[in-house]
Structure 1
Amino acid sequence: MNKILLTISAGMWDGIQHRPHHFARRAALNNWTVLYVEPPATLISPLKNRTTIERWKYWREGLRKETESLYLLSLPPIFPFGNMNRTINRINQRIMAKTITKALQSFSNSKVTLYTFLPNTVDMLPYLNVEAVIYDCVDDHGSFSGFVDKKIVLEMEKDLMRQADICFATSHKLYSDRKAWNPNFYLIPNGTDHDFFAKTASITEEEIPADVADLSHPTIGFIGGISDWVDLSLVKQVADSRPDCNFIFIGPIATDISLLEALSNVHFIGPRRYEHLPYYLRKFDICWIPFKINELTKSVNPIKLYEYMSSGKPVISTPLPEVKHFEGLIEIAKDKQETIVSIDRILDSNINDVNREKRQKVGQDNSWDSRWQYAEHLIQSLQK
């Protein structure tokens, strides 16, 4: 019988590569047929971001084949405010379930396991015929800004976990806050494609992308989404204080960056394809995680930390709880003054050479391969 892993996440397949992407690829290489469901746009999404209209185009294409064992599916437009009103969410989930059920009919004689990363999918469960339900808690979803009612999102998450056969969490806080909701709950932190990022050191100067190649050193870089959890005020203070450094941001912009646009040493390059990221990392003298410390980020286990360490590059981060576990291998800096001290310490000493191998060992020990192997072992135990 064909094993289908129905994966529902918040990320477009060609967008920033998060945990769902890495797990889906590995599942597809390990005897699963993966149906990766991309997030729908709401009826008002194009008013804020016109690129969301692309999702409607993909929806009209129907089932798309990515590889022999991995398929993509976009969903029809849905009503807004589903994370603020449970009735709207139930309507939306029923609409989405209809499209998903139709797509699943393309796979005959199949046993479907739902692997969801989103609390609101709990209201889809009555409309899906699945053998098992897996929930992977990767964020404190109720703490995102925007059209979100924290109480309603937590209610949906609690309902989902009570119905799920097995649940995972990416951080210690997510696990501790939710462990009473399901007895089959496991901590599985994020990881890295270690070999992919470890090749950063072997990339030549000539291979560095042209859009950053001519920027003078020292360079301090960030890779990832630039959203409201990035502390742009801290970035401005540090960039103002270190005009000799160039600060490079690689990733899509989803927040107001006007505070930084006048600074000649801060460069927003935009999103770049995943396969090109090591070439940008090669340009960085220091990798940075300048996140705010708030309810959302206290639960974050940043993938970029493991990717940075796989590259061997020095890392500075604000004191996120999950990052503190690596203090000693990376620099922890809570404000402008501590960040500047950390920059100077890295640039003026041999810390890069001393800790490079240790950082890369952390990346090697936290590979996506090992993470998926453990998750799949737990999933398969459901069938025994």
Structure 2
Amino acid sequence: MNIMFASHTYMGGPFVVGSHHLAREMEKLGHAVLHVSTPITPFHLLKLSNPDYRERFRILTGRSKNASPRLINSVPLSWFTWKMAGPIFQRTGKNWMVPSVKQLLRKNGMEQVDILFIDQPSFVGLEKLVKPKVTVYRPTDLYSKLTGNPSIAAAEAAILADAQALVSTSSPVLEELQGYNPQIPTLLLENGVEFEHFASCADEPEELRNIPHPRATYVGALDERLDREALLRLAQEQPETSVVIIGPHTPEDEAYFSGCSNAYLLGAKPYARMPDFLHHSDLALLPLSDHSANRGRSPMKLYEYAAAGLPVVVTETPELLRRQEDFLHFYRDSGDFPGKVRQALALQQDKERVRSLARSHAWDAKATRLLDFVSSL
């Protein structure tokens, strides 16, 4: 089949998301896959000092090679950002951000698209341009709550009015968005893990060699969805535990943890190296703030941590409690966090058993289940 993803995140950047994994797995199954991510605009030329924007322009201009002739990674051009186009869409129902993709489809032999997966709500209207046999809306977050932008809610309502199916990565997202179209067929399909990648290990990274055990490691962004206070309290109350933080950070983040000699901000690391940092840790951390968008999160990190054999100390959310995974150790507020970390470290769970719990969430099985669902429509 010819399959198209309209995603929020381009392939080849610092973040690897579910649409990337699903696209690769579907290409392995013999399908032709076009992965399109949020358009770049002429306004972004003013930000070319940012390596993220430079890489997106490289992809736009064809200077970034595709991994396979049957898996095309594309960043299209638009004249408008969603910040400009969103309010117009909310008033008129017309999306001036959606790029013309007909030439891109012809160039890649996709005059007919069989399945269009829309992950990014600002692509509303793309289904009318592409005219696929089946349109599936696949939200991975409560986007309107995450952004606080009412135009996103309007876009989601419009997509679901035309789509043939709703596939969500968490139960809260599914329940909330199904309200736009109660009759639409649905599938709950949690985010998965590239199991073989995270289950394998190389030598201890140089960056860890001077950091003493036990090491409690967090991987991800230091943004408003992170319970930073919990990490700080852990570092302050358990000086014998090394708190390792892997992800992009700012001077303000460094200042926040500056009083803790056992907090190590290592910066962003390539996806290819991430298993090595996890295999040489003792525990994984996923402290979530009370941000309303966290209620519907389906963190890929959970099963990536588990595939590396690590138990996880994580905030209680309705979605994560529903899963009943026994490698998860829940805490309720920042004050509980250090004690839960101490308990989890003392348990010394069997790493091979934790890995076995992650194996069933491998992306190849997720892709097959998703295609079987679409075929049944």
Task: After TM superposition, give the deviation of residue 332 of structure 1 in Å.
Answer: 0.7
Out of 84-93 and 26-35, give the one that drifted further: 84-93
Q: Show the counterpart of 1:308.
A: 305
Distance 1:357 1:70, change over 3 A: same
Task: After TM superposition, give the deviation of residue 103 of structure 1 in Å.
Answer: 1.2
Distance 1:162 1:253, change over 3 A: farther
Distance 2:48 2:74 in 1: 23
Distance 1:63 1:214 in 2: 37
- After superposition, give the CA deviation of every residue in 1:251-274 in whole Å (9 maximum; x if it has no partner): 234895242245332222222222
- After superposition, give the CA deviation of every residue in 1:67-88 in whole Å (9 maximum; x if it has no partner): 1311111122542314741349
Out of 7-16 and 84-93, give the one that drifted further: 84-93
Q: Show the counterpart of 2:24.
A: 25
Q: Show the counterpart of 1:116.
A: 118
Distance 1:316 1:161, change over 3 A: same
Q: How many residues align?
A: 365
Task: After TM superposition, give the deviation of residue 64 of structure 1 in Å.
Answer: 4.5
Does residue 1:243 correspond to 2:244, yes or no? no
Out of 106-115 and 39-48, give the one that drifted further: 39-48
Point out where structure 2 has 5 or more consecutive residues left out of the alignment.
none
- After superposition, give the CA deviation of every residue in 1:190-233 in whole Å (9 maximum; x if it has no partner): 11122322234xx4xxx111112221111110122332211112
Distance 2:194 2:30 in 1: 20
Distance 2:53 2:326 in 1: 46
After superposition, residues 214-225 of structure 1 pair within 5 angstroms as 214-225=210-221
Q: Show the counterpart of 1:14.
A: 12
For 1:132, the aligned partner's letter is V
Out of 253-262 and 372-381, give the one that drifted further: 253-262
CA contact (8 A) 2:222 2:228 kept: no
Distance 1:48 1:220 in 2: 36
Out of 274-283 and 37-46, give the one that drifted further: 37-46
Q: Show the counterpart of 2:170.
A: 171
Task: After TM superposition, give the deviation of residue 8 of structure 1 in Å.
Answer: 1.2
The SS at the match of 2:77 is coil
Q: Show the counterpart of 1:376.
A: 371
Distance 1:327 1:72, change over 3 A: closer
CA contact (8 A) 1:192 1:307 kept: yes
Distance 2:64 2:281 in 1: 39
Distance 1:267 1:63, change over 3 A: closer
Q: Show the counterpart of 2:138.
A: 136
For 1:38, the aligned partner's letter is S
TM-score normalised to the size of structure 1?
A: 0.87
Point out where structure 1 has 5 or more consecutive residues left out of the alignment.
none
- After superposition, give the CA deviation of every residue in 1:75-125 in whole Å (9 maximum; x if it has no partner): 2254231474134971111xx1x2x22111113364312211011212233
After superposition, residues 1-384 of structure 1 pair within 5 angstroms as 3-15=1-13, 16-45=15-44, 46=46, 50-54=50-54, 55-61=56-62, 64-76=65-77, 78-80=79-81, 81-82=83-84, 84-87=86-89, 90-93=95-98, 96=99, 98=100, 100-108=101-109, 110-112=111-113, 113-145=115-147, 148-149=148-149, 151-180=150-179, 181=181, 182-200=183-201, 203=202, 207-253=203-249, 256-257=252-253, 258-324=255-321, 325-326=323-324, 328-349=326-347, 351-353=348-350, 356-382=351-377
For 1:26, the aligned partner's letter is E
After the TM superposition, which parts of structure 1 deviate over 4 Å for at least 4 consecutive aligned residues? 42-49
CA RMSD in angstroms comes to: 2.5
The SS at the match of 2:159 is helix
* Aligned-residue identity in percent: 19
- After superposition, give the CA deviation of every residue in 1:317-344 in whole Å (9 maximum; x if it has no partner): 1112222233643211123442222222
CA contact (8 A) 1:63 1:103 kept: no
- After superposition, give the CA deviation of every residue in 1:22-65 in whole Å (9 maximum; x if it has no partner): 10000111121111113233555555972343122331227843
TM-score normalised to the size of structure 2?
A: 0.88
CA contact (8 A) 1:63 1:73 kept: no
The SS at the match of 1:378 is helix
CA contact (8 A) 2:85 2:96 kept: no
- After superposition, give the CA deviation of every residue in 1:143-197 in whole Å (9 maximum; x if it has no partner): 224xx51x22112101101211122011011111122415211111111122322
Distance 1:52 1:326, change over 3 A: same
The SS at the match of 1:31 is coil
